[in-house]
Chain A
Amino acid sequence: MPQVTLTVNGKTSTVEVEGRTLLVELLREKLGLTGTHVGCDTSQCGACVVHVDGNSVKSCTMLAVQADGSSVTTIEGLAKADGTLHPMQEMFREHHALQCGFCTPGMVMAAVDLVAKNPQGLSEEQIRHGLEGNLCRCTGYHNIVKAIDAAQPLMHAK
């Protein structure tokens, strides 16, 4: 069986997988990081978004073997060790950007990548476009967009 060595949230692991093992399966089932969710499993809903080498990807549409040698960040890796939330998490809480919470890990990870790559700032419309790969069936997106907008100055001030 193939072996995969990858760094997840700063910790390096070597794991035996099958060729067909998805990255999200490795994260959830081998490493116990169940914050990353599987929603549609058809590459559309974005509940499984994580960062691989600094880019947001759908971990249900990437093989674990493709992540060999990569650095992965999941929702569990965003907050500081002392529990201080990432500004995006804090703004999701502040603006009530979730109801059932199922899509939230993917929303937050997608939003962090979106804001980090656009230091010039994003309009409301650009934020909405940037969330095309993430579906939420509860909120109607309004508070998610507000939270991301509010997180922009906090993230860029760092």
Chain B
Amino acid sequence: MYDFGYTKPSSLADAVAALAGDDEAKALAGGQTLIPVLKQRLNKPTKVVDLSKLGLSGITVTGDSVTIGAMTNHATVAASADVKRAIPALAALAGGIGDIQVRNRGTIGGSMANNDPSACYPSAVLALGATITTNKRSISADDYFQGMFTTALEAGEVITSVTFPVPAKAAYIKFKNPASRYAMVGVFVANGPKGVRVAVTGAGQGGVFRHTGAEAALSKSWSPASLDGVSISPDNMNSDIHASAPYRAHLVGVVTKRAVAAAG
């Protein structure tokens, strides 16, 4: 690892100031992606700005929404009785990320800022129509994701929380790579205040995307059977040693059906 300057600001304003005006500064959330990247010398930040002392962790559940502070780790979301009651699919998704040790450190804000094409959280954010709140503004899920590892975040912009509307029904099913346990295909289905929405992670070349064909079919009838005959083009699917593009396209259909069945 190349060495870097390190700062742990105690206010959001100080963190934003530390990141501003330095394109090579990096924000550090849970570090479960950033630290491995630094160890491989794939990134050489001038300084690392640790966001852990900004008071950005915590969960607030109201009658119709769940707000998760950006620095809340996955284990906390998975274990939260409030999240389990309001959006059980979200708690289950958090409890399936990585392994226990990763879940004890990794955060929702870090996952969202990184927007790994195989990350779990982006599918929940997009399918539920969540809102990403930063130090500057609120960004709707539909505007937030802009391709693999690319988001609407501007330089020096820091996510403070993510707010999910509570759906009537939702489920997330992940078809895992057996070694890395990343999603080869992960599908989050939701029937909620933002309508019927289906988001797919792990499969697309451009990162998470909405499966509009499945949404149209499920809007008519919310059942696995209504997805019979719904297919998706392999054109924009990832292809690698683990799965070809046509295989991933096939998996999207299978996993979407399983998710609808799980949502009930």
- List the interface of chain A (C-beta within 8 A of B): 2, 18-20, 22, 41-43, 46, 49, 55-58, 61-63, 65-66, 68, 110, 113-114, 130, 132-134
Contact = CB atoms under 8 A, between A and B. Distances in A.
B103 to A, nearest CB: 9
A61 B4 contact: no
Given A56-B101, A110-B101, A42 B6 contact: no
Contacts of A41: 39
Interface in B1-58: 1-6, 8, 28, 31-32, 35-36, 38-39, 47-48, 50, 52
Interface of B: 1-6, 8, 28, 31-32, 35-36, 38-39, 47-48, 50, 52, 75, 98-102, 104-105, 181
B48 A132 contact: no
B6 A132 contact: no
B104 A55 contact: yes
A130 B1 contact: no
Contacts of A134: 99
B126 to A, nearest CB: 26
Contact of B31 (A42, A62, A114, A130): A62
A43 B50 contact: no
Nearest to A46: B101
A5 to B, nearest CB: 13
Contacts of B4: 19-20
B100 A113 contact: yes
Nearest to B105: A57
A144 to B, nearest CB: 15
Contact of B100 (A42, A66, A133): A133
B35 A56 contact: no
Contact of B5 (A19, A43, A68): A19
A20 B100 contact: no
A65 B100 contact: no
A52 to B, nearest CB: 8
Nearest to A133: B99
